[in-house]
Each structure stands twice: as C-alpha cells, then as structure tokens.
C-alpha cells in the first residue's frame, strides 16, 4: 500500500474487479462492465440538481437521456418540484435511490459522491448556489443569467479559478446551428467589417423592474414551500403566491429584488452578439440613455468602434440577433429554418461552416453536452464564467443606465465607472445573510 488516496472512480473500478474475482458464480450484468453500449458506473458523471421548476425540469429531462450521466440527488424548496424531479429520476433508473433535499447546503455537505450540479433556480440564487457548489468541489451548469450584479459576476469568476471548477452558463444558443452560422459569417469576414449588431429585448419594456407591494398571505407549511429559502439572498418580504411565477404577473421575473431588467433577454442575445464578435471577455465602454427603449432601443459602444443596439423588434421569432457589416448582414432567431441574409451566397456553404466550426473548436452542437465533455476533459466551456460575467456586465450597466436616466462610461479593465461614485455603488446590491458572496 503506497498510502496514495484512491479517487472515487479508482475505488469503484478496483471494487468491481474484486467482486468479479471472488463473487463467482454471481452473474454481473454487461451494463455494469460498460458493454453493450452502456457506460460503466465508474465512468459516469454523477450529478445532483438544485431548482427544478419549469426550466430545471427540462434540463433534468435532457440530462437523464445521457448514458454517461447518473443523477443521485435533487433539491428544491417547493415540494411539488422536488417530488416531480425525484420521481423522474427514480422512473428513469427504475429504483427509489434518488435523495430529495429542501436545503442545498445539506445536499452539498452530504453528497461527496457528486461530480457536477445542475442549477436552475430563480435568478437571485444563481451566483450563490454556483459558488456554494464549487466550494463543495462540484462542477456547475447554471442557467442564465450567471449573476445579478457586477460584483457577483466577479465573485463567480474568482470561484472557478480558486476551486478549479468547470462552469457553464446556460446560454444554449451558443451551441445551436443557426446562431453559430451567423457568428461564423461575422468572424470569417463574410460580412466585411462588422460595425453594428442588434440584440432582441423581448417583452422587457412591458415589464419594467418594480418591487410590487402585495398583501401578505398565510405561508404554506415549510415542507410544501420554505419561503425563507425561496427568498434566499433577496430582501425579506411577506409571502404572496403571485411572486412564485413567473406567471401571472407580478411574478418574480418582474421584480427588482429577484431579477434583472435587460438581463431577462440580454443574457441570451447580448451574450450571443459578444461571443460572435470575439468580445465576450470585455464589455462596452459607452452606454446611451434611450429616449425610446421600446421603439429605437438602447445603444452601447465597444472600444473597437462596434455598436450594439438592444431593441424589441426586427425578428420573426424570439431571442434574435443581427450582424451588419460593410458587405452584408445576417440575422437569426428561434424558429428560423435558416438565417436571413443579405445575399443567398452567404449561405451557400453553411454546412461547411458548421463542419469547420466543430472541427476547429471540438465542440458539439449541443450546449449541455459541451458541459459534460468539459467535465471530463477539464477544458473551458463555450460560455464559461468569464463569458457569463463580462456579457452580464453589459446587461447590468444597461440596467444602471436606465435606473440613473443618463449616459454612462465604463472602464472594462478596471471594471469601474471612472469618477462616478453614484454608478459605482450600483455594481453591487445588498444580499441577505448568510447568502452574501
């Protein structure tokens, strides 16, 4: 015995070998050995999940379809979500082994067998839950937006570096064919010099950020809903079932204490624009307060001269982007069969664009799969913590611009507003104990 600690997978592999040698005539299923297309238990990515409402249940369903993933625990402060997720996991594996938790801290402390976490909570929880998971030694796939403040984004990046964890923000369009084709046309110079990009803002102007005052209602029993944990780092407010939303309004999506304004859509589309332009490691330097957000939109400028306009119209579907250059343009959104282009010639070799992209980047056209591959290889995912933070900084400064009702200037190197104490104070917000990051 050398005294060197065994990894979990080494232990499982040696234990399996030992059982094979000494348990004759017991029959070991081929799946346990990784035969017949199955993945051996020692090679599976063991996962847990926190936050299993609408988006979380969808992500869980997709991950349960991956042969190299094994879910062992779920966590949600709402009993309905918790039980539905537990039943889905047990139904997939035809057993009753999935553990269910109300408090993520208990899951993270007890389940040392977990490799990675799926986090699909409400936005207020994204950064605290991600950092707690990384502190516990887990890799993290977290839904967007990655952070609700610039300070949270900085803390998120620092945590990935400090704990050596893989982090992917759930901006899935970064791995979808039409959006990749549009980005490749811009990257390869097919549009000439790109000077203006457009990002969809969706319903934002119809739902300005507010803090609605709703009449208190009796809290459900704690096992049905732990209201204190649901609030988490947000300021305390009395329970009202309408906050659980996002539907009907005023669900948490509309509330400043629980979410952002521009980030509700910009965490999809502004991120996509910056990624396509190779600007996902910085943020714009000037922000223009809009006279008509719903009509003309909001304009920001990068240091290299590229202009980004966030607006509500211009696409046939949601989460649209458009890139304009001196020689042409391309636009796409959800539901497009193929991107719209200024000339059919731009799409003549779209299949080759995708093939070249996957060859060059070694990334799949599947966002969650990119995360799983990175868990295995330890490479950086396509929408890493840095991408999440820097693109969310763009979104959040746009929010600050709307709040202050004036133009702003940002230093992306120092990550501060030069000589603007009022704006600098808004880089963070109060977080309720013990959830500060």
Q: Is residue 326 part of a domain?
A: yes
Q: Is residue 90 part of a domain?
A: yes
Tokens (6 digits) for 170: 């759930």
For residue 19, is pLDDT > 80?
no
Same domain, 85 and 180: no
Helix (H, G, I), strand (E, B) or coil at 50: strand
Q: Is residue 46 part of a domain?
A: yes
Which element (helix H / strand E) includes 118? strand 116-119
Q: Is residue 227 part of a domain?
A: no
Q: Is residue 289 part of a domain?
A: yes
At 207, is the pLDDT very low, low, confident or very high (cuts 50, 70, 90)?
Answer: low
For residue 8, is pLDDT > 90?
no
Looking at 247-261, 325-339, 383-397, which range is the least confident one? 247-261
**Dihedral (C-alpha) 145, 150, 151, 154: value to the nearest 10 degrees?**
70
Answer with the residue of higher pLDDT: 211 or 196.
196
Looking up residue 14, the CATH number of its domain turns out to be: 3.40.50.720
Domain total in the chain: 2
Other beta carbons within 10 angstroms of residue 86's beta carbon come to 21
| Percent of the residues in the chain that have a pLDDT greater than 70, as a whole number | 89
At 28, is the pLDDT very low, low, confident or very high (cuts 50, 70, 90)?
Answer: very low
Tokens (6 digits) for 339: 């991107």
Give the full edge-to-edge strand order of the sheet including 328-332.
340-341, 328-332, 321-325, 194-200, 307-311, 298-301, 286-287, 408-409
Phi, psi angles (nearest 5°) of residue 197: -130, 150
Looking up residue 178, the CATH number of its domain turns out to be: 3.30.360.10
For residue 71, is pLDDT > 90?
yes
Average pLDDT over residues 133-162: 97
Domain boundary among 148, 172, 196: 172
Average pLDDT over residues 64-86: 97
- The pLDDT tens digits for 270-286 are 999 999 999 999 999 99
At 288, is the pLDDT very low, low, confident or very high (cuts 50, 70, 90)?
Answer: very high
For residue 1, is pLDDT > 50?
no
Same domain, 178 and 114: no
Looking at residue 12, its pLDDT comes to 40
Same domain, 146 and 284: no
Same domain, 165 and 185: no
Same domain, 27 and 13: yes
For residue 2, is pLDDT > 60?
no
Q: Which domain holds residue 33?
A: 8-172
């Amino acid at each position: 015995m050398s005294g060197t600690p065994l990894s979990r997978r080494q232990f499982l592999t040696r234990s399996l070998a030992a059982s094979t040698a000494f348990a004759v005539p017991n029959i070991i299923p081929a799946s346990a050995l990784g035969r017949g297309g199955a993945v051996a238990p020692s090679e599976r990515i063991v996962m847990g999940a926190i936050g299993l409402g609408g988006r979380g249940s969808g992500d869980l369903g997709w991950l349960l379809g991956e042969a190299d993933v094994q879910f062992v625990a779920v966590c949600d402060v709402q009993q309905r979500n918790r039980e539905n997720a537990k039943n889905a996991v047990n139904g997939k594996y035809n057993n009753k082994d999935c553990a269910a938790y109300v408090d993520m801290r208990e899951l993270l402390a007890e389940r040392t067998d977990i490799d990675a976490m799926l986090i699909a909570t409400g936005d207020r929880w994204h950064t605290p839950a991600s950092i707690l998971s990384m502190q516990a030694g887990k890799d993290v796939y977290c839904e967007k937006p990655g952070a609700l403040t610039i300070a949270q984004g900085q803390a998120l990046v620092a945590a990935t570096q400090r704990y050596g964890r893989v982090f992917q923000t759930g901006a899935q369009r970064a791995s979808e064919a039409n959006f990749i084709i549009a980005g490749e046309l811009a990257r390869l110079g097919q549009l000439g010099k790109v000077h203006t990009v457009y990002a969809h803002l969706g319903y934002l102007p119809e739902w300005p950020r507010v803090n609605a005052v709703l009449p208190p209602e009796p809290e459900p029993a704690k096992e049905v809903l732990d209201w204190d944990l649901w609030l988490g780092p947000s300021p305390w407010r009395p329970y009202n079932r309408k906050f659980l939303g996002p539907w009907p309004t005023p669900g948490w999506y509309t509330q400043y204490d629980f979410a952002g304004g521009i980030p509700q859509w910009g965490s999809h589309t502004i991120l996509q624009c910056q990624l396509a332009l190779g600007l996902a490691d910085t943020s714009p330097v000037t922000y223009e307060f809009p006279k008509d957000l719903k009509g003309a939109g909001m304009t920001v400028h990068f240091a290299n001269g590229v202009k980004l306009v966030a607006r509500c119209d211009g696409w046939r579907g949601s989460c649209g982007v458009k890139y304009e250059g001196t020689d042409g343009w391309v636009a796409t959104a959800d539901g497009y069969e193929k991107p719209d282009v200024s000339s059919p010639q731009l799409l003549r070799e779209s299949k080759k664009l995708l093939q070249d992209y996957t060859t060059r980047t070694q990334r799949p056209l599947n966002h969650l799969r990119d995360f799983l591959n990175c868990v295995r290889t330890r490479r950086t995912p396509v929408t890493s913590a840095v991408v999440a933070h820097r693109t969310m900084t763009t979104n959040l400064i746009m929010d600050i611009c709307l709040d202050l009702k004036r133009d702003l200037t940002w230093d992306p190197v120092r990550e501060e507003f030069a000589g603007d104490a009022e704006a600098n104070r808004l880089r963070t917000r109060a977080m309720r104990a013990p959830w500060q990051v």
